[in-house]
Amino acid sequence: MAVRKGLLTAGLGMIGLLLLLPIAITFTHSLMTEQELTIDYGPIGQRTEATETGADTFVNLKWLPDKVTLEQYGKLLVYTPNYLLMFWNSAGLVVPIIVGQTAVAALAAYAFAKLKFRGRDSLFLAYLLAMLMPFQVTLVPNYIMADKLGLLHRPGAVILPGVFAAFGVFMLRQFMLHIPYAYIEAAKMDGAGHLRIFLTIILPMVKSGMAALVVLLFVDYWNMVEQPLIFLDDPFKQPLSVFLSRLTGEWGTVFAASMLYMSPMLLLFLYAETYFIQGVQWSGIKG
Amino acid sequence: MEISKEQVDFKRKRWIAAASIALFGLLLFFTLFSNTLQSVALPKVRTGTATSGGLAYTLEGSGVLRPIKQAELPNPAGWQVRQVLVKEGEAVKAGQRLVLYDSSSAERELEDEIAQLDKMYIALEAAQDQYIASTVGGDELGSREAKRELAARQIDLSVQRRKIEGLRERLKRQRELTAPFDGIVVEMNAVEGLASAGQPDAVISSRDFGYQLDLVADGELVDRLELAAGQPIELRIAAAGKQPERSLKGIIDEMTDEDSRRAGSPEGDGGETSSAVRQKRLRIHVADSSLRGGEQVSVRLKRPSSEKGWIVPNEAVHREGESKFIFTVDQQRGALGNVFVARKVPIEASASNGRETMIPPDRLYAGDLIILESSEPLQDGNRVRLQ
């Protein structure tokens, strides 16, 4: 038994390390100089004279930089103003989506979980179907609708579908189902209306669920590429996730940009870690 | 246990909040100030706009007018000057006497020779007498000898006569200096009482043939100005003394090729590149009765080129091997406001004079800024800071 447990721990530990590997590489490489990166990664995907003659085509993967430097971060912050603009573009898209979707989802989830009305379950099923549909399926209707609303090439075209996405509703409903109906009945007996019940009883109880939702949404929308690529034609209005894929010229800058790009997510997750783990456990959803 | 866990959690959250604020603050700072920070390091450029129009080709030159026909008259025998009859600047006719020389020694020599001739006549008479005496006396041998003597005397006599004739002629010729043709006395070096030293006593220039000016100019410029032999050209005579500045009409008499000159190009980048510049000599003929020769005249010909284009100062033109180019300033939309970028514009087909270069009209738009000077060497696509 103990051996099995030990093996399991070792196996899971290995998988955990493997998952951490890209982040660790990104971090250490962001501290390398451009020259070092060019030497190590020069011939990736390129047919050079060296590779044609049958020389070694493998890259020289190194863990630690020969010389630790913050040069790449400086270059990124001072010489790549696009990066900073895109960062704020990302924030400008993600924050309204998260605030909006959390608010809409909490209200809708309350209705689906705690109100009794005709057609509730079939309506919820329709909602679930919308969630299950891949993004690419709803892309064209979304595009047409954004065009009709006059939102095309504006941030609203990305924000609106995000605010009314079904995932938050589903997740928060699962949370609210766990809340015994007795709380609500007791409140009703004391003369509380639905809004009061929602604000003072339900919301505090699903705090961890909300935190989990915020983290999941943040990860989801901070990384979105297709929506802004399609709905926003002006490259200076697109978010960082799109821009990052275009930073191909200089490897060092790409690594540094990735690190900076990752940091808000990391900070948010660390901040809401306890709620997040709780929330995911409770709702039975895995991110 | 529970409390301490909450405390740890609180501490951790505070730390994360501080880190977030620091991160966002940093990003905000660089968003607002990265452009400023960056522009400090950008090359500073001085710009100007191109003007539309033709290039003005200017030929400038000056020189001294020389008479086409001029005679230097030396002292014929090196005698002392007795009298100077004309002054510098005086008009003279052909054959007019200019200078008289002291010929007394030659005259004395002539008299001596004449006296010698007289003496020879007397000797001849003596020989005749001897011949007659020998013939009458019947001395055959003496008679023949006297006859030979007589013939020799006669030969001597004619030699002496010729000598006197020569002396007379020389005296007549060398006693005075006469003008060979109608003209002006340009120079008069003869001084009464002195023999001349090296220089010609007088210099006479002819009016009838006019004056000429030699100018050397770049062949390309001459071609651009479409100058050709037989064309009229305007000259200016500098103010001299009481005479005010005035203009003269001249005619290009002939154009000949000169040796090329080596020229360093002033607009070349790095290193003096020298190239051979073809040169031409213009001979300009001027006929004007008021001229005396020796006047300083200048030529200034200005002609706009037939084709039109953009005119930029030569300092804006850069050279790379054979090709030439200029840099213009492009305004591009950047992430944080507009940025200025140097754009390389090749200008192969360009004409140039000393100060300006003309480039084809399709290379620029009206109002394009052209970089005249940069604090650092530029390359295509470099961001720049406008001064």
Given an 8 Å threshold on Cβ–Cβ distance, is A84 in contact with B31?
Answer: yes
Confirm whether pTM is higher than 0.80: no
- Least trusted range by pLDDT, from B60-69, B116-125, B257-266: B257-266
Nearest by CB to A81, which of B9, B23, B335?
A: B335
Categorize the per-residue pLDDT at B264 as very low, low, confident or very high, splitting at 50, 70 and 90. low
Given an 8 Å threshold on Cβ–Cβ distance, is B333 in contact with A236?
Answer: yes
Output b/e per residue, B92-101; b: 16+ Cβ within 10 A.
Answer: beeebebbbb
Categorize the per-residue pLDDT at B268 as very low, low, confident or very high, splitting at 50, 70 and 90. very low
Given an 8 Å threshold on Cβ–Cβ distance, is B20 in contact with A86?
Answer: no
- With CA atoms as reference, the chain A residue closest to B14 would be A271
Nearest by CB to A81, which of B9, B16, B35?
A: B35
Which chain A positions have a beta carbon within 8 Å of B27's beta carbon? Answer: 77, 84, 87-88, 260
- Provide the pLDDT for residue B270: 41
Shortest Cα–Cα distance, A281 to chain B (Å): 19
Select from A72, A76, A78, A85 the residue whose CB has the most chain B CBs within 10 Å, as the one to mutate to test that interface.
A78
Nearest by CB to A84, which of B12, B23, B30?
A: B30
Contact assessment for residue A50 and residue A39, using Cβ atoms and an 8 Å cutoff: no
pLDDT, tens only, B163-195? 999 988 888 888 888 888 888 887 888 888 777
Between A and B, how many residue pairs show a Cβ–Cβ distance under 8 A? 51
Specify the CATH number of the domain B39-55+309-386.
Answer: 2.40.420.20
Which chain B positions have a beta carbon within 8 Å of A249's beta carbon? Answer: none
Per-residue pLDDT at B242 exceeds 80: no
What is the residue-wise DSSP string for A98-167? HHHHHHHHHHHHHHHHH---TTHHHHHHHHHHHHHS-HHHHHHHHHHHHHHTT-TTSTHHHHHHHHT-SH
Given an 8 Å threshold on Cβ–Cβ distance, is B12 in contact with A270?
Answer: yes
- Provide the pLDDT for residue B283: 83
Nearest by CB to B38, which of A79, A87, A264?
A: A79
Residue A232's closest CA among A157, A136, A161?
Answer: A157
pLDDT, tens only, A72-109? 888 888 877 778 888 888 999 999 999 999 999 999 99
Query: What's B58-68+210-304's CATH class?
Result: mainly beta
Which chain A positions have a beta carbon within 8 Å of B336's beta carbon? Answer: 81, 84-85
Nearest by CB to A78, which of B16, B30, B333?
A: B30
Given an 8 Å threshold on Cβ–Cβ distance, is B9 in contact with A274?
Answer: yes
B26 close to A (CB below 8 A): yes
Name the CA dihedral angle for A262, A264, A266, A270, rounded to a multiple of 10 degrees.
Answer: 180
Given an 8 Å threshold on Cβ–Cβ distance, is A81 in contact with B334?
Answer: yes
pLDDT top residue among A41 and A21: A21
- Provide the pLDDT for residue A44: 52
- Least trusted range by pLDDT, from A161-165, B275-279, B322-326: B275-279
- Provide the pLDDT for residue B13: 86
A265 close to B (CB below 8 A): no
Q: Average pLDDT of A255-270?
A: 88
Given an 8 Å threshold on Cβ–Cβ distance, is B38 in contact with A78?
Answer: yes
What tokens were used for B197? 């030293």
Please report, for chain B, the start and end positions of each structural domain, with discontinuous segments joined by +: 1-38, 39-55+309-386, 58-68+210-304, 71-188
Torsion sign (Cα): B303, B304, B307, B310 = positive
- Provide the pLDDT for residue B21: 92
Rounded to a whole number of angstroms, the distance between the first and last alpha carbons of chain B is 67
Categorize the per-residue pLDDT at A57 as very low, low, confident or very high, splitting at 50, 70 and 90. low
Nearest by CB to A77, which of B13, B16, B30?
A: B30
| B residues 319..348 contacting A (CB < 8 A) | 333-336
Given an 8 Å threshold on Cβ–Cβ distance, is A270 in contact with B35?
Answer: no
- With CA atoms as reference, the chain A residue closest to B335 would be A82
- Provide the pLDDT for residue B349: 64
- Least trusted range by pLDDT, from A9-13, A48-52, A206-210, B233-237: A48-52
Contact assessment for residue A77 and residue A185, using Cβ atoms and an 8 Å cutoff: no
- Least trusted range by pLDDT, from A55-64, A243-252, B24-33, B132-141: A55-64
| A residues 54..83 contacting B (CB < 8 A) | 77-79, 81-83
A87 close to B (CB below 8 A): yes
- Provide the pLDDT for residue A149: 92
Categorize the per-residue pLDDT at A16 as very low, low, confident or very high, splitting at 50, 70 and 90. very high
User: What is the average pLDDT score of chain A?
Assistant: 85
Contact assessment for residue A256 and residue A72, using Cβ atoms and an 8 Å cutoff: yes
Per-residue pLDDT at B263 exceeds 70: no
What are the structural domains of chain A? Answer: 75-283 (1.10.3720.10)
B39 close to A (CB below 8 A): no
Shortest Cα–Cα distance, A131 to chain B (Å): 32
Q: What are phi and psi of B34, to 5 degrees?
A: -60, -40
What is the residue-wise DSSP string for B44-74? EEEEEEPEEEPPEEEEEEEEE-EESSEEEE-
B32 close to A (CB below 8 A): no
Q: Is A115 exposed, middle or buried (0-12, 13-18, 19+ CB in 10 A)?
A: exposed
Nearest by CB to B23, which of A86, A263, A270?
A: A263
Given an 8 Å threshold on Cβ–Cβ distance, is B335 in contact with A82?
Answer: yes
pLDDT, tens only, B292-301? 767 788 888 7
B22 close to A (CB below 8 A): no
Per-residue pLDDT at A285 exceeds 60: no
